[in-house]
Structure 1
């Protein structure tokens, strides 16, 4: 029997309690790689709960990469915490013109445009009416961000990402890349490892600050960072392949970062949009003294709100805050005030639930259309899916979609040295009818 205890009076669901305690047993070394767990039926009987509770917990931990189900054999641990103790805090490129939208293109099936439920428009307008009657700061605002917003964000990150934070540990930013721009000058000299394929804006931001970009292979376990001073990753939903970084790989990367005296930059851009299991916990939970956590409102609200948040280890936090104080850097007060209202009114929770339902319905439709012609690169989650196929086929499908009035991205544009090719198909910023039209054009080209 596992040494776990479930509290039926707690507000936390029983499956989440069980998953959290099994995860802790792995992290503390009580459970090691290869250890066989009780069957879901046996564990349910031991704990006096329904089998659905243990099955949900095992499914969650399997999705995160902590456990592995072997047919006919049982469920086994696949990740082990290294003996190193985690540290917990106490407290140049040439400018280019924007790529014009191709002639005839009316809609983008991209990775960055979320679904916006028109039924939520009254709450959106109410938030901005409150901004219009609120009294703005008389001078430059607090460089950490609006205190009430940081309090609301701390509560939300604790509830949704398992990060227990004091509001003063949070710095409100103007988005993910703004957080990177704040962090990069405070790192010691050296290159930055960035996932390949990966988020193009992150790599470009690193180059802009005169640092070398080292390609971090997404499909491999990273056990050595060399002389890199930081590693930028998207572990909950890799951008753009969509895979979840397995628990064992997370621990290995953190150990590599400790050996290199580097930080891990976790971009947690759309972790709330899982349809099969609960959102994968933030990597920052494993080592708050080694991970810089970046979040954004771009996927849950709208990108043009230009708001995000940064949580850094104490030494980096102080350096970033000092520079922001001197330079008067910070996110726009009106946007912060509006997001505060959206959080307080429960608008953001409703927006996430609504978008998650839409994505959960659209993702299988994309999969049904694409499966005969391409290979899915990762689990279905978020507002896009990535499909592996030869570059010639991908370009033919891309061109056919353009002719039909839709722009889709080639996977090759996210890659530097990986050589992976295919299509990245977003489905958040279009209507159901537009999605069907785009898929018809894409599959028609692939079928031909």
Structure 2
């Protein structure tokens, strides 16, 4: 090693990294760590190359790279030195604590069951994407138009929501759409059902807004001072009931009186077993309701794809912001969903899942009925069972012993004093559900 550089350098000719990158990386680490003081003179590229047994081009490349990054400076006739301010040691950043692996199968409220018999259609959709030509620049800020055309037909047919493709904005899932609505609303608090969807509550808080708790068990009749209210009228999350017609009308009246926007999260309305899916709240008042839909409960949560139908003024404000931020889901995902809608894949997986969920909902109800009563009717992909807190904890402990994690109702509450357990039956097999139910019954006994 040259006398001018008090840092041992090691060359590994078997490594994938080029030799010049190895030299530059080791000198950079020494500079960042404060090993080399400001003004320290480095050896010449010729001397350093001789010490390392490499060609001079290797050391020249390393020095040029470090000089370009501002670590080194060359003084004519004097040599190469550590640049001023280049050796301030960086603070140690502790590694993030890894999330512990529990080994438990979580029976949550949002993991869907996808019939494996439809995988061929799923693969075909992605082959369509590979054969399509992506847009040469940023795509339409509203989302792929072909997808918005398909969504308009889908919403009219399945949700009773008649709208034009230009009234639809494609979003990165429900929370992505909610965030865009919140960004476009004027300053002020936003109401939220309590208990309610935790991710939505966190999104409202993260937007810098005050969160106003509204009892989920009571009609909403007063929104004075609020600029918006988030609700799940087709299947209240996590209690389960449908918002009655009278409560829908009182909510809309309260929103009109306060000048507030009703944010409707229509997360799993496809899955009802007693009656046909309840029409969307937005179908009653397009001027006051912002409608959010998602693929998470029907196709796959990992697609991170959804849609928003907003009142005209809100739509324009969101679209103008998206033209600047390009906050639109990836084109390949949008294009794949076009194929999934056109080819009938979405309808097929919904029909299959509806049959499966109906049977599983009945099994859950029958298994616990002698000892507890779920909130009826059970819909979607989970059942909520009110229980005293001590009993709910015993049920959770029994489920954990059997290898399952079940959500607690109180975890969805903020000011509400409710307790119980929630049994999701989407993200498991029939055999796993049977084992989980046996453990739940043991905990209830």
Matched, 1:363 2:361: yes
Correspondence for 1:233: 231
**CA positional deviation for 1:442:** 1.1
Give, in whole Å, the separation in 2 of the partners of 1:212 and 1:374: 37
**CA positional deviation for 1:98:** 9.5
- Equivalent position to 2:351, from 346, 350, 353: 353
1:400 and 1:445 in contact (8 A); partners too? yes
Structure 1 length-normalised TM: 0.77
- Equivalent position to 1:298, from 296, 299, 307: 296
Q: Which has the higher mean CA deviation after the structures are superposed, 395-404 or 373-382?
A: 373-382
SS across alignment from 1:387 = strand
Give, in whole Å, the separation in 1 of the partners of 2:101 and 2:242: 33
Structure 2 CA distance for partners of 1:387 and 1:120, relative to 1, 3 Å? same
Matched, 1:149 2:154: no
**CA positional deviation for 1:104:** 3.0
1:388 and 1:422 in contact (8 A); partners too? yes
**CA positional deviation for 1:226:** 2.3
The structure with the larger Rg is 2
Give, in whole Å, the separation in 1 of the partners of 2:411 and 2:373: 18
**CA positional deviation for 1:370:** 1.7
Correspondence for 1:104: 103
Write the deviation string for residues 9-63 of structure 1: whole angstroms up to 9, x where unpaired: xxxxxxxxxxxxxxxxxxxxxxxxxxxxxxxxxxxxxxxxxxxxxxxxxxxxxxx
SS across alignment from 2:407 = strand
**CA positional deviation for 1:155:** 0.2
CA RMSD of aligned residues (A): 1.2
Correspondence for 2:53: none
- Equivalent position to 2:408, from 407, 410, 423: 410
Give, in whole Å, the separation in 1 of the partners of 2:239 and 2:372: 13
1:222 and 1:252 in contact (8 A); partners too? yes
In the alignment of these two chains, the number of paired residues is 350
1:110 and 1:425 in contact (8 A); partners too? yes
Q: Which runs of 5+ in 1 are unaligned?
A: 1-96
Give, in whole Å, the separation in 2 of the partners of 1:120 and 1:415: 37
Write the deviation string for residues 378-425 of structure 1: whole angstroms up to 9, x where unpaired: 411111110100111111111221221111100001011111110111
2:111 and 2:426 in contact (8 A); partners too? yes
Deviant stretches of 4+, over 6 Å:
none
Give, in whole Å, the separation in 1 of the partners of 2:376 and 2:189: 28
Give, in whole Å, the separation in 1 of the partners of 2:372 and 2:124: 44
Larger RCO: 1 or 2 (CA < 8 Å, sep 6+)? 1
Structure 2 CA distance for partners of 1:98 and 1:229, relative to 1, 3 Å? farther
Q: Which runs of 5+ in 2 are unaligned?
A: 1-95
Give, in whole Å, the separation in 2 of the partners of 1:315 and 1:114: 34
Structure 2 length-normalised TM: 0.77
**CA positional deviation for 1:302:** 0.6
SS across alignment from 1:375 = coil
Give, in whole Å, the separation in 2 of the partners of 1:100 and 1:398: 20
1:298 and 1:307 in contact (8 A); partners too? yes
Structure 2 CA distance for partners of 1:231 and 1:181, relative to 1, 3 Å? same
Correspondence for 1:220: 218
Give, in whole Å, the separation in 1 of the partners of 2:137 and 2:389: 53
Q: How does 1:221-370 map to 2 (within 5 A)?
A: 221-370=219-368
Give, in whole Å, the separation in 2 of the partners of 1:103 and 1:283: 40
Give, in whole Å, the separation in 1 of the partners of 2:442 and 2:262: 42
